[in-house]
Copies of this chain bind each other. A is one copy, B any other.
């Protein structure tokens, strides 16, 4: 399938998920919105869950640039600010929230792959920081991203509070420098 066609299918999948929830998401609906034959979609992705799992990893909407600002602090702030934008502005917010709800209730979507893929791309930020001497080699990138991404979700989605323009920098400072 042409990459452009795939991108349209993935975009339609996420849009339908955000609008109608996982229960309202159907391969038929994706076929209609993207103008691709239903059987063609099924040939590539054998189920709605497989289609959504692929869309989460591949769709432009959830894509992100791995920053290279020259410092670990700058890179982490950039990563976390981008997540903040995703979680607070439509359509990213609706997609992220709907995808999380769907993934939690439907393990067959395999959200692990989505998070593993993001972390694999984020690792370079930590590798560069170790090389620059900004971080001990023993630092666990997954723990750092759990703390930072988790803080964005907790503040913006769970608490439903505005992030404030310095929230990303404050969260990164807390984790890099410690609060005590």
Count copies of this chain in the complex. 2
A63 CB–B CB distance under 8 Å: no
Q: Are B179 and A176 touching (Cβ within 8 A)? A: yes
In chain B, what residue has the closest Cβ to A155?
Answer: B146
Query: Please, what's the 1-or-0 string for A136-180, where 1 marks a CB less than 8 Å from any CB in chain B?
Result: 100110111111111111110111110000000011001111111
User: Are B176 and A180 closer than 8 Å at their CB atoms?
Assistant: yes
Interface stretch of the complex, out of A31-39, A46-54, A96-104: A96-104
A125 within 8 A of B: no
Q: A101-B105, A176-B179 are in contact. List 11 more A-B contacts (CB 8 A).
A: A101-B104, A112-B159, A115-B159, A136-B179, A139-B180, A142-B155, A143-B151, A146-B154, A174-B178, A177-B178, A178-B178
> A19 in the interface, Cβ–Cβ < 8 Å?
no
Q: Which residues of B contact A111 (CB under 8 A)?
A: 158-160
What 7 A-B pairs come out closest when comparing CB atoms?
A150-B150, A178-B178, A101-B101, A150-B154, A146-B151, A146-B154, A176-B180
Categorize the interface residue count of chain A: 35 or more
A95 at the interface (CB under 8 A from B): no
Are A154 and B159 in touch, CB under 8 angstroms? no
Contact with A143, one of B72, B146, B170 (Cβ below 8 angstroms): B170
Task: Assess A174 versus B175: contact at CB under 8 Å? Given A101-B104, A104-B101, A105-B101.
Answer: yes
Option from B101, B107, B148 in Cβ contact (under 8 Å) with A147: B148
Contact A135:B180 (CB < 8 A) given known A115-B158, A146-B151: yes
Q: With a CB–CB cut-off of 8 A, which chain B residues contact A135? A: 179-180
